[in-house]
């Protein structure tokens, strides 16, 4: 379980419902475990990208969220109350994102908001969550939370941010692949994080970025951008998102032909894409960052095995019922881990309802160590309550005959950087 700095309180023993043990045993699970004060569910507003450029992520964020919620409910819920996932599609759109947050608070009566991925949607939604005093647990990776640009009601406790990721990756890239880098990234906040933080990180290793190539996230053809890649490039750093990622990597291969620089990509460029897809053979011997290794490794942990079984993902990261339905495995664990962090926070503050929202945030801010476990299957983590950001291991994998083999694991300490904000000093 998550370790807390402060002492925690736990809900007392649950009272037996009237009717005796025999009658209680015949009741549904929620009733048998219900708190004496209320049997109302805890409503988690799930802001999901069902449509728009984030739809592939949204599909798997949904499956992961539903699997975690089922496990939590099967084990008695949170403080004896069932968890109800209230899903709303934000269309991967910032304006709709803010409207969804408002619906959670004013229409659905949700206790918290949860799950947002794309950074521009988080940035468009978080201010409204703050105004409505709705705890907003995002699963995004953007540096917007830890940078201090948001508010005390917005937290990212289940997935690491880009700044920590690229800082941990840069030494490996510099020492093993090259120092003259060209970057290709999406032209919005997430891509700008990569641009800014990897540029600084590689310069700290004695390297340089020769060219920044920003591509609109709605782009469907990419060949026109590739002539901008300087000939002296030693490493092509690529990260792309959206439904056209397969086109992106295929056209990249066609452009370079048999001669290419070393390639280091964030697996975002291939999330939800089968590595065995025709046209991707050239990716052999290239490298990827993975938030969680898609392909089960030889030393697979029992926790990763459990997570795959519960979410319905096979050893290659595809749906067990459809091998062509490839997951967003490097990211979706964040929904699972965030829900379990939310559970731990609510239990620590004895959460009863919206009046306890501030206490919930304070309970999560008090968290520190998150051990590798079924609740945290991606790996051990360290949460920084001041910046509302979690830090954890990062993984580099090399493509070997269509298999993503992990070749490097960073330490958690590799991902640390100086605090840029202290949200705990802000009022509620």
The reported pLDDT for the residue numbered 384 is 98
pTM (2 d.p.)? 0.90
What residue segments make up the domains of the chain, in order of their start?
Answer: 20-160+330-392, 162-290
Q: Encode the chain (428 residues) as per-residue pLDDT tens digits.
A: 444 433 333 333 323 223 333 333 444 444 444 443 458 999 999 999 999 999 999 999 999 999 999 999 999 999 999 999 999 999 999 999 999 999 999 999 999 999 999 999 999 999 999 999 999 999 999 999 999 999 999 999 999 999 999 999 999 999 999 999 999 999 999 999 999 999 999 999 999 999 999 999 889 999 999 999 999 999 999 999 988 999 999 999 999 988 999 999 999 999 999 999 999 999 999 999 999 999 999 999 999 999 999 999 999 999 999 999 999 999 999 999 999 999 999 999 999 999 999 999 999 999 999 999 999 999 999 999 999 999 999 999 999 999 999 999 999 999 999 999 999 999 99
> What's CA 166's distance to the chain center, in Å?
15
The reported pLDDT for the residue numbered 36 is 38
CATH of domain 162-290: 3.40.50.2300
Domain 20-160+330-392 matching CATH 3.30.230.10: the answer reads no
The reported pLDDT for the residue numbered 38 is 59
Long-range contacts of 363-366 (CB under 8 A, 24+ apart): 363/4, 363/8, 364/155, 364/157, 365/423, 365/424, 366/4, 366/5, 366/6
Closest residue by Cα to residue 227 from 189, 255, 249, 192: 255
**Whether the domain at 20-160+330-392 and the domain at 162-290 fall into the same CATH topology:** yes
């Amino acid at each position: 379980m998550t370790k807390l700095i402060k002492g925690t309180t736990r809900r007392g023993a649950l009272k037996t419902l009237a009717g005796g043990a025999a009658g209680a045993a015949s009741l549904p699970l929620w009733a048998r475990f219900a708190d004496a004060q209320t049997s109302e569910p805890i409503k988690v507003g799930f802001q999901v990208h069902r449509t728009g450029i984030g739809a592939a992520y949204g599909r798997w964020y949904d499956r992961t969220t539903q699997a975690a919620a089922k496990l939590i409910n099967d084990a008695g819920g949170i403080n004896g109350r069932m968890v109800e996932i209230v899903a709303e599609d934000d269309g991967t759109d910032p304006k709709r994102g803010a409207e969804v947050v408002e619906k959670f608070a004013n229409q659905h009566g949700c206790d918290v908001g949860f799950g947002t991925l794309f950074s521009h949607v988080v940035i468009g939604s978080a201010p409204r969550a703050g105004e409505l005093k709705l705890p907003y647990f995002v699963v995004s990776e953007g540096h917007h939370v830890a940078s201090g640009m948001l508010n005390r009601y917005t937290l990212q406790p289940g997935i690491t941010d880009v700044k920590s990721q690229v800082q941990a990756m840069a030494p490996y890239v510099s020492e093993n692949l090259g120092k003259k880098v060209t970057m290709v990234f999406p032209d919005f906040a997430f891509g700008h994080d990569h641009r800014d933080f990897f540029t600084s990180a590689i310069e700290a290793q004695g390297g340089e970025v020769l060219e920044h190539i920003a591509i609109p996230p709605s782009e469907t053809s990419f060949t026109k951008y590739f002539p901008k890649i300087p000939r002296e490039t030693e490493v092509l750093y690529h990260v792309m998102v959206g439904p056209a990622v397969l086109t992106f990597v295929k056209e990249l291969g066609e452009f370079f032909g048999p001669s290419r620089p070393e390639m280091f990509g964030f697996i975002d460029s291939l999330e939800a894409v089968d590595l065995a897809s025709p046209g991707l053979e050239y990716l052999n011997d290239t490298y990827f960052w993975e938030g969680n290794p898609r392909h089960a490794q030889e030393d697979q942990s029992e926790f990763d095995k459990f997570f795959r079984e519960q979410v319905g993902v096979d050893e290659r990261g595809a749906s067990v019922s459809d091998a062509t339905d490839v997951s967003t495995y490097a990211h979706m664990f964040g929904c699972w881990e965030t829900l379990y962090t939310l559970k731990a926070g609510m239990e620590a503050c004895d959460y009863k309802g919206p009046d306890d929202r501030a206490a919930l945030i304070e309970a999560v801010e008090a968290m520190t160590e998150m051990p590798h476990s079924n609740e945290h299957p991606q790996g051990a983590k360290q949460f920084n309550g001041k910046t509302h950001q979690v830090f954890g291991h990062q993984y580099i994998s090399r493509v070997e005959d269509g298999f993503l083999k992990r070749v490097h694991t960073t330490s958690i300490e590799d991902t640390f950087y100086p605090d840029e904000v202290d949200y705990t000093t802000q009022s509620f």
